[in-house]
């Protein structure tokens, strides 16, 4: 009875409070304005006030992270002080001695997107094997500094949100290369003491890239290309990769999942250019063994599930979604490329791979390929090629 009475009192108090608020609004209503108009005005004022505080809080958080980034860089390498986003005199001198040739990026017209040529801006990154070879050839600080693009390329608000994390991570990689060349003395043990700064920076970069890929603008800017380059360099650098993966692996997996879902769900007319860029980014992320295994484990059930759904539609002679059918091909190409990279490296043991996922994918796959081959020959061909790679990997292990 006490509980019931308490609830009744709460309901009564709420009703009285609403009634008192209504009387207060009516009493304070300015002349010449209806109660409805006045209430809407008050609601807008409160909403704008909340938005203002939210914007201020976000700006303060961004400034705090920027200061923490500068402090961490200064701790790692005191000589590498940041002033207007530039390295100190010793690094600047090295930059001045080199002739940095800006990369010419092909422009992309906002057409139907059906003609996905090799002129895409993201092709400036090269294929996964090209990127792998170029990264191993970077043995001097000169070659690294030639890859750093100026950060004043960003023009949109989405790109501006990437400036701080890209710049911070660029400087970390610069310090790494300069310290290897003996130009700077660096203490990277500071990363262990302040792991949250690099983790927050990577998370901010991943969130920014996800926002862009969810609603891309054409043509792709060279700054976005550089952001992807910085991310890939970070997760493949021997000094940073283990540290970043230890702290940010969950976030990186979430980023991969988001990109896969964007590929599957996008239906815009111009989607092919964006799908090409996303696919290329995922392949580059697959250069890291751990991320490659997680991505393969993610793609196998997606492709298998679509194959089963397509077979069911085919057997029922029902209509199928042509957009979903077209969107599955980037996933097939990514999966094939990752499996080829894994086969070439031969450094992933069977115990490290998702054997259960591979078994489920290959289960009755020959029958599915046979039934779909007449109606969907290209998709069946991809299924067959992926199955060959999976069987080869199992035989090799």
pLDDT digits (tens, 9 = 90+) for 316-360: 888 888 999 999 999 999 999 999 998 887 654 444 556 777 888
For the chain, give every domain's residue range: 53-99+115-287, 288-397
Whether pTM exceeds 0.85: no
Structure token pair of residue 64: 């705090």
Distances (CA, A) of 225 to 87, 121, 337: 22, 7, 20
Per-residue confidence (pLDDT) for residue 126, from 0 to 100: 43
List of residues 6+ apart from 122 with CB closer than 8 A: 220, 225, 228, 276, 277, 280, 281
Question: Would you say 161 and 209 are in contact if contact means Cβ atoms under 8 Å apart?
Answer: no
Mean pLDDT calculated for residue range 159-169: 84
Confidence check: pLDDT of 301 > 90: yes
3 state SS of 374 = coil
pLDDT-derived band at 243, boundaries 50, 70, 90:
confident
The residue assigned the tokens 């017209």 is 109
At residue 304, does pLDDT exceed 90?
A: yes
């Amino acid at each position: 009875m006490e509980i019931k009475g308490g609830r009744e009192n709460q309901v009564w108090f709420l009703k009285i409070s609403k009634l008192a608020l209504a009387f207060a609004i009516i009493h304070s209503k300015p002349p010449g304005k209806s109660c409805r108009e006045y209430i809407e005005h008050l609601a807008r004022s409160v909403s704008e006030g909340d938005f203002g505080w939210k914007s201020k809080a976000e700006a303060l958080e961004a400034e705090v992270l920027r200061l923490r980034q500068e402090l961490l860089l200064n701790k790692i390498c005191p000589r590498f002080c940041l002033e207007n986003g530039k390295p100190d005199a010793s690094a600047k001198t090295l930059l001045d001695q080199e002739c940095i040739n800006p990369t010419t990026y092909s422009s992309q017209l906002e057409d139907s997107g059906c003609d996905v040529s090799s002129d895409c801006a993201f092709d400036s990154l090269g294929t996964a094997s090209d990127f792998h070879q170029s990264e191993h050839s970077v043995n001097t600080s000169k070659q690294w500094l030639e890859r750093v693009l100026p950060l004043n390329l960003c023009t949109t608000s989405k790109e501006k949100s990437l400036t701080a994390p890209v710049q911070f991570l660029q400087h970390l990689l610069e310090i790494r290369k300069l310290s290897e060349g003996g130009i700077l003395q660096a203490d990277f043990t500071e990363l262990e003491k302040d792991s949250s700064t690099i983790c927050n920076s990577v998370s901010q970069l991943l969130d920014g890239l996800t926002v862009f890929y969810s609603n891309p603008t054409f043509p792709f800017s060279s700054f976005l290309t550089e952001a992807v380059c910085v991310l890939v360099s970070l997760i493949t650098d021997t000094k940073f990769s283990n540290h970043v993966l230890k702290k940010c692996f969950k976030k990186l997996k979430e980023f991969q999942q988001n990109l896969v879902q964007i590929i599957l769900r996008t239906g815009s007319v111009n989607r092919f250019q964006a799908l090409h860029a996303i696919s290329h980014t995922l392949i580059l992320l697959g250069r890291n063994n751990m991320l490659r295994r997680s991505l393969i484990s993610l793609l196998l059930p997606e492709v298998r599930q679509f194959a089963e759904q397509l077979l069911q539609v085919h057997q029922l002679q029902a209509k199928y979604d042509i957009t979903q059918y077209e969107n599955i091909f980037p996933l097939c190409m990514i999966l094939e490329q990752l499996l080829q990279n894994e086969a070439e490296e031969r450094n992933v043991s069977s115990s490290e791979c998702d054997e259960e996922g591979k078994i489920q994918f290959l289960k009755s796959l020959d029958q599915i390929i046979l039934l779909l081959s007449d109606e969907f020959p290209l998709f069946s061909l991809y299924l067959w090629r992926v199955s060959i790679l999976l069987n080869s990997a199992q035989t090799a292990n």
